[in-house]
Amino acid sequence: MNVGIVGVGNMGGAMAQRLCRQGWTPWVHDVDAEKVRCLMPFGALVPVDVAQAAIESIATIICVVDAAQTRDVLFGPHGLASKLPSGHVVVLCSTIAPHDVETIADTLAERGISALDAPMSGGPARALEGSMSLMVAGADAVVARCQPLLNALSGQVFRISQRVGDGARTKLVNNLLAGINLVGAAEVMALASRMGLDLGRTLDVVEQSSGQSWIGSDRMRRAIAGDLAPRAHMTLLAKDTRLAQEAALQVGFAGPLGASASAVFAAAVAAGLEGLDDAALLTFLLRPKMAA
């Protein structure tokens, strides 16, 4: 199976490396040529004609930031959709709104192209080792065609449903909880700092006690070390928690925590932390104005 990945940032790049380790030879494309070049030593191909490479592949993975970029890749001035053959599968791995997944899938279907709704979770390290979560929604026949690819990408493939869009819904539910957990972890660590506690020792206790969460431990360890190089940009959970709130509004649900967590991420982005890892929430909450 020839396969391509469009968008090889932190997650897409890790997925490409993972496929290379599994004996695949994926072709890769990104607006940032340096990200593409960095994957060549691992065995990834860099096609001169991206459209032709896609035509010769059974599937193209789209791993860009948002729905606008996804539409541009597929339907923009140089979009791939008009060139893809009938039967081709577009694997949508970006975190986007369920209605965007549905409309993109419908537009592809008009051209005889199948869509697989397959958002992912776990971060670049887990993508590289093949332990990230893939939340797969789509027709059984399409899933079966892509099963070897899905299995190569991860040992944690969750079959959600046959309804395209349900993968996106599951991802938003997961990411809203991740956002709530991260805001909570940053809040209590900021409180511990104000109390004069040693943050590393406090986190040791939390990790072995009832307050433990994976994302809290992962991000707060980095924050304590001052390592804010972006593995997951602050903008991503800002986007994802906002999308989750929009999805909640559409079904008439208003929970007590989601909107508050989303507002914290939005405030951190507005405060200039958009280029940092979302671990920088601790930095944000430790600012004097947050203590007022």
pLDDT band at 14 (very low <50, low <70, confident <90, very high): very high
3-class DSSP state for residue 153? helix
pLDDT band at 176 (very low <50, low <70, confident <90, very high): very high
Same domain as 48, residue 85: yes
Write the CATH number for 237.
1.10.1040.10
Same domain as 270, residue 227: yes
Alpha carbons 131 and 125: distance in angstroms, whole number: 9
Quote the DSSP letter at residue 85: P
Same domain as 20, residue 123: yes
b/e 265-277 (16+ beta carbons within 10 angstroms → b) = bbebbeeebbebb
* Amino acid found at 13: G
pLDDT at residue 224 is higher than 60: yes
pLDDT at 289: 67
Same domain as 78, residue 125: yes
The number of domains in the chain is 2
Same domain as 204, residue 82: no
Same domain as 186, residue 67: no
Alpha carbons 244 and 287: distance in angstroms, whole number: 27
Lookup result for tokens 């790049």 = 13
Strand 114-117 with 89-92, pairing = parallel
pLDDT at 247: 96
pLDDT at residue 292 is higher than 50: no
First to last CA, the chain: 58
Residue range 43-75, pLDDT digits in tens: 999 999 999 999 999 999 999 999 999 999 999
Percent of the chain at pLDDT > 90 equals 96
Alpha carbons 94 and 135: distance in angstroms, whole number: 11
Alpha carbons 83 and 64: distance in angstroms, whole number: 19
Write down which residue in 146, 164, 182 finishes a domain: 164
Same domain as 218, residue 145: no
E strand or H helix at 278, and its extent? none
Beta bridge partners of 27: 4, 45
Same domain as 228, residue 155: no
pLDDT band at 291 (very low <50, low <70, confident <90, very high): very low
pLDDT at 288: 81
Write down which residue in 135, 164, 193 finishes a domain: 164
Dump strand ranges (E) for the chain: 3-6, 27-29, 59-62, 89-92, 114-117, 120-121, 133-137, 156-161
Is 239 designated active site? no
Task: Identify the active-site residue in 35, 83, 171, 239.
Answer: 171
Write the CATH number for 34.
3.40.50.720
Same domain as 229, residue 133: no
Lookup result for tokens 């209605």 = 99
Same domain as 200, residue 135: no
HSE-up of residue 231 (Cα within 13 Å, Cβ side): 17
Residue range 231-269, pLDDT digits in tens: 889 999 999 999 999 999 999 999 999 999 999 999 999
Please check whether residue 32 is in contact with residue 50, taking contact to mean a CB–CB distance below 8 angstroms. no
Write down which residue in 164, 196, 218 finishes a domain: 164
Residue range 97-124, pLDDT digits in tens: 999 999 999 999 999 999 999 999 988 9
Smallest CA-to-CA distance from 96 within 72, 130, 76 is with 72
Same domain as 211, residue 197: yes
* Amino acid found at 3: V
Domain that holds residue 184: 169-291
pLDDT at residue 290 is higher than 60: no
Same domain as 186, residue 45: no
